[in-house]
Amino acid sequence: MGFMKEINNDFNVRIALNIWKNIYLIRSVEEKIAKKYPEGKMRCPTHLSIGQEGVPAAWSECVRNNDFAVSTHRGHAHYLAKGGSLNAMLGELYGKVTGCCRGRGGSMHLVDTSVGFMGTTAIVGNSIPLGVGLALSAQLKETDQISCIFLGDGAVEEGAFYESVNFAVVRKLPVLFICENNLYSVYSPLSVRQPKDRNISAMVNAMGIQTSFGDGNDPMAVFDIMTKSVKCARSGEGPFFLEFSTYRWREHCGHSYDNHLNYRSEQEFEEWRLKDPLLRLEKQLFDKDVTLEAILVQKRMLIDHEIDLAFQFAEESPYPEASEAYTKVYADE
């Protein structure tokens, strides 16, 4: 587990600004989804990742356009961080023909192959074998692509996870298993799902895969870990398992907050809110150069405008024709 113990303390302002931009974009898009969801125009379940943006935002600065990525039901952040089309994502949430799946899939089925984002899935652990298969394809074709698999702590309770890790280790595949540990599977904490005091990274490390653990709310620390693991995987050193601690602020599924359900305490919630990856990175930037605050103000305005236009595009786009319901059902069509 110690192959990434040394973290590079050099603070690269350019990279930090790019990561900040990704966090702000993801946060702002999802906050607007939450605001507009009650209008009833997005007729699909939606799982927001507000509070968890630090990991995908940092990851986006470490991978290439042609690298592969697959994700989970909570996939908006990963899709956008990989460069997926915002217009197409929102079109999909609105069920429009301009959506990335032409309105068929909704929030939990996002894909943009033009940037290597190969899809999300509603089934826990379902995309893990697919990500391993993509890594195998890169190995067989002798490219230097890597495959990145996003999963939650609940997915390590699925058999597909262990089979996939074992196969990846045996074949020495260029794949990253990126676990965003937000402590809960729907409303169930780790304490009722896994043995007491289990260290997920240590457990997975025992399977022969190199692992590392990091603070998912510290974007620059995530970037350092990601940079090293991506370089190693791309150079043929085999698969890596990366676990990052993080926390979702809103309800498991939906646009609101659910602390009233009492599956987590208000104190725990507020303690994690204080670890906000966006504010943490902003403080680091301002400590480096106070004049950056004016730059961020301008960037916020540009991103907010981009988001407004994307929502307008989605709402004004047409719905698919009824005749399309039975087309593109099979892969060979």
326, part of any domain: no
Q: Residue 315 — left, alpha, or beta (φ > 0 → left; ψ -120 to 50 → alpha)?
A: alpha
pTM of the predicted model as reported, rounded to 2 decimal places? 0.94
48, part of any domain: yes
- With a CB cutoff of 8 Å and minimum separation 6, the contacts of 195 are none
Give the pLDDT confidence score for residue 333 in this predicted structure.
54
Give the pLDDT confidence score for residue 8 in this predicted structure.
41
Give the pLDDT confidence score for residue 119 in this predicted structure.
96
Question: Tens-of-pLDDT digits for all 333 residues of the chain?
Answer: 333 333 344 689 999 999 999 999 999 999 999 999 999 999 999 999 999 999 999 999 999 999 999 999 999 999 999 999 999 999 999 999 999 999 999 999 999 999 999 999 999 999 999 999 999 999 999 999 999 999 999 999 999 999 999 999 999 999 999 999 999 999 999 999 999 989 999 999 999 999 999 999 999 999 999 999 999 999 999 999 999 999 999 999 999 999 999 999 999 999 999 999 999 999 999 999 999 999 999 999 999 999 999 999 999 999 999 888 778 776 655
The residue among 189, 161, 238, 321 whose CA lies nearest residue 3 is 238
Q: What is the CATH number of the domain that holds 234?
A: 3.40.50.970
Give the pLDDT confidence score for residue 324 in this predicted structure.
82
246, part of any domain: yes
Domain, as residue range, for 77: 2-250+265-317
324, part of any domain: no
DSSP one-letter code for 42: -
200, part of any domain: yes
Task: Please count the structural domains in the chain.
Answer: 1
256, part of any domain: no
Give the pLDDT confidence score for residue 297 in this predicted structure.
96
CA separation (Å) from 252 to 185, 214, 248, 256, 290? Answer: 8, 23, 8, 9, 37
236, part of any domain: yes
327, part of any domain: no
The enclosing H or E element of 178 equals strand 175-181
Give the pLDDT confidence score for residue 84 in this predicted structure.
98
Give the pLDDT confidence score for residue 11 in this predicted structure.
80
Give the pLDDT confidence score for residue 228 in this predicted structure.
97
